[in-house]
């Protein structure tokens, strides 16, 4: 059943039906839609209500949204979240990399091996390209892939089996008499919907806001409010310089973006374990791109002149064709783009101000800067034939705040910790101090690693679905 919260008739039909739900899932993005499918896969008669603040939009409408928030430190892009059925899958890249022990710390509810197994299961169910590994990888090389047509999770929605209430912004949640309740407003009237369980899959920033409002209105009195919003993390990404003099014996094509049958792939280079351990560094990796490609792409994007765009597109295609045959590829200059893990830091947090607006505090630490510098030097020494004559940018906090981009990977804020007093959720992602409210989002990540997070959230979504079905109540 489809219910449009902004349509009186639709709402009337919904309220007349007086349906009882086993589970409410709040947020019909990548995770909310996937959880509803996982739950139904194992128990097809479950009564599920999915609630979504946005409406049905297409990819172009999603790209035009500006959902900016205030920030201090590293910027948060206005297009880093999409409000609509399908969530951020309407604009995302769908890039996936395999999970390793190295990328995850020992602070997670389960170990990397177990997460890897869930990732494999999820990728089988959803047909993702996880574990399509390149056999020639060295230990510190990472394989990334994404489908030519990124998955739009809107297409996985099955409204013949679940109810979707869209255009409905949930403000708060609470628990009363063994029931979970979602609370939202219709004009000025407060509406409440009950169920046995609630899963919050609104995305990191919105989950924090919803929980902040619930706590503020004394609806969740026992949760660990001191932790809420703290330890926010992201993956800053930016160019850390270029290689001008590539060594002749490097087969650079191995690392560059390539098109396979139905997906693109590239290889990133991380620091070897030994160096990371010796200097106590974070996870990070560099990917290469010929400088001339970026220059032409920037020109094409910046220009409004159709003819100029056409000319440069043709030039870019021609250069790529020449590179395909390797004639000049090794003579090109290569940009080094870094993706960086951020440490979980108390001062990096998401706050909700008096006007109920989100504000993100997201600062760079010395350890993060040290990691980038050592990674840059490692790459230059290994891949350049003239390390001393390569230009080395002075990587400072100012430089990073100026050039780093938000990777739209918002993590932390309702973190898991092995010690209950430092944790917002338990190992099954239930909010500590609640009976039946769960979180499924990268907001529970205790550490961030440096690779794209969605496959990990999906892995935990599958695990959570199985866990919820074990609970006797449903
Ligand atoms: C441009 C872009 C590129 C990305 N590329 C990649 C990538 O290549 N690889 C990768 O792994 N990750 C990528 N990500 C990150 C990825 O999109 C997120 O990890 C993923 O979307 C998380 O899924 P989610 O369901 O938690 O959140 P979302 O997909 O954001 O869904 C949250 C949903 O909740 C709804 N909602 C919010 N507030 C409320 C409310 N109060 N009431 C009801 N509903 C609400 C929203 O409208 C939305 O539909 C990218 C993100 C962006 C923006």
Domains in the chain: ranges and CATH: 1-125+152-234+346-356+410-474 (3.50.50.60), 237-341+365-403 (no CATH)
Centre of ligand 1 from the C-alpha of residue 322, in Å: 38
Helix axes 30-42, 454-470, angle to 10 degrees: 40
How much is the pTM? 0.96
pLDDT at position 121: 96
- Please check whether residue 439 is in contact with residue 429, taking contact to mean a CB–CB distance below 8 angstroms: yes
* Segments of 353-462 assigned E as strands: 358-362, 437-439
- Select from 61, 96, 202, 440 the residue to mutate for testing ligand 1; criterion: most ligand atoms less than 8 Å from CB: 202
Beta carbon of 443 within 6 Å of any ligand 1 atom:
no
Beta carbon of 54 within 6 Å of any ligand 1 atom:
yes
Separation of alpha carbons 426 and 416, rounded Å: 7
Separation of alpha carbons 366 and 373, rounded Å: 11
Low-confidence ranges of the chain (pLDDT < 50): none
Which helix (H) or strand (E) segment is 185 a member of? strand 179-186
pLDDT at position 218: 93
Centre of ligand 1 from the C-alpha of residue 95, in Å: 14
Beta carbon of 201 within 6 Å of any ligand 1 atom:
yes
Sheet of 349-352, strands arranged across: 70-73, 358-362, 349-352
pLDDT at position 95: 95
Nearest CA to ligand 1 atom 2: 92
């Amino acid at each position: 059943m489809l219910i449009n919260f902004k349509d009186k008739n639709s709402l009337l039909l919904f309220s007349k039906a007086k349906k009882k739900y086993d589970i409410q899932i709040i947020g019909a993005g990548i995770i909310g839609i996937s959880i509803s499918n996982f739950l139904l896969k194992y128990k097809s008669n479950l009564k599920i209500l999915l609630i979504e603040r946005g409406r049905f939009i297409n990819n172009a409408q999603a790209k035009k949204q500006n959902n900016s928030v205030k920030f201090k430190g590293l910027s948060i892009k206005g297009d880093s979240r999409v409000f609509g059925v399908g969530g951020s899958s309407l604009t995302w890249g769908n890039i996936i990399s395999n999970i390793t022990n190295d990328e995850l710390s020992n602070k997670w509810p389960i170990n990397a091996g177990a997460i890897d197994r869930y990732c494999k299961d999820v990728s089988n169910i959803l047909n993702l390209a996880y574990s399509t590994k390149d056999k020639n990888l060295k230990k510190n090389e990472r394989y990334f892939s994404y489908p030519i047509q990124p998955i739009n999770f809107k297409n996985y929605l099955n409204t013949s089996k679940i109810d979707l209430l869209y255009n409905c912004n949930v403000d708060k949640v609470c628990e009363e008499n063994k029931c979970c309740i979602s609370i939202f407003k219709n004009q000025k009237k407060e509406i409440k919907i009950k169920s046995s369980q609630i899963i919050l899959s609104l995305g990191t920033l919105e989950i924090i806001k919803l929980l902040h409002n619930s706590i503020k209105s004394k609806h969740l009195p026992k949760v660990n409010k001191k932790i809420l919003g703290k330890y926010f993390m992201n993956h800053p990404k930016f160019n850390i310089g270029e290689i001008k003099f590539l060594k002749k014996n490097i087969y650079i094509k191995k690392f560059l973006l390539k098109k396979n049958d139905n997906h693109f792939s590239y290889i990133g280079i991380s620091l070897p374990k030994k160096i990371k351990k010796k200097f106590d560094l974070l996870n990070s990796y560099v990917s290469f791109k010929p400088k001339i490609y970026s220059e032409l792409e920037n020109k094409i994007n910046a220009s409004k002149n159709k003819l100029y765009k056409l000319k440069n597109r043709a030039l870019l295609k021609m250069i790529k064709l020449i590179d395909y045959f390797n004639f000049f590829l090794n003579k090109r200059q290569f940009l080094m783009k870094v993706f960086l893990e951020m440490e979980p830091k108390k001062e990096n947090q998401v706050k909700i101000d008096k006007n109920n607006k989100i504000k993100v505090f997201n600062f760079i630490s010395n350890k993060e800067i040290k990691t980038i510098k050592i990674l840059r030097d490692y790459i230059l020494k290994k891949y350049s034939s003239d390390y001393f004559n390569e230009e080395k940018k002075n990587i400072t906090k100012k430089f990073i705040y100026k050039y780093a981009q938000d990777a739209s990977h918002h993590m932390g804020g309702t973190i898991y910790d092995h010690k209950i007093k430092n944790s917002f959720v338990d190992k099954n992602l239930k909010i500590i101090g609640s009976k039946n409210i769960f979180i499924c989002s990268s907001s529970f990540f205790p550490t961030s690693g440096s690779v794209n997070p969605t496959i990990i959230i999906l892995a935990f979504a599958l695990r959570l679905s199985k866990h919820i079905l074990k609970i006797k109540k449903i």
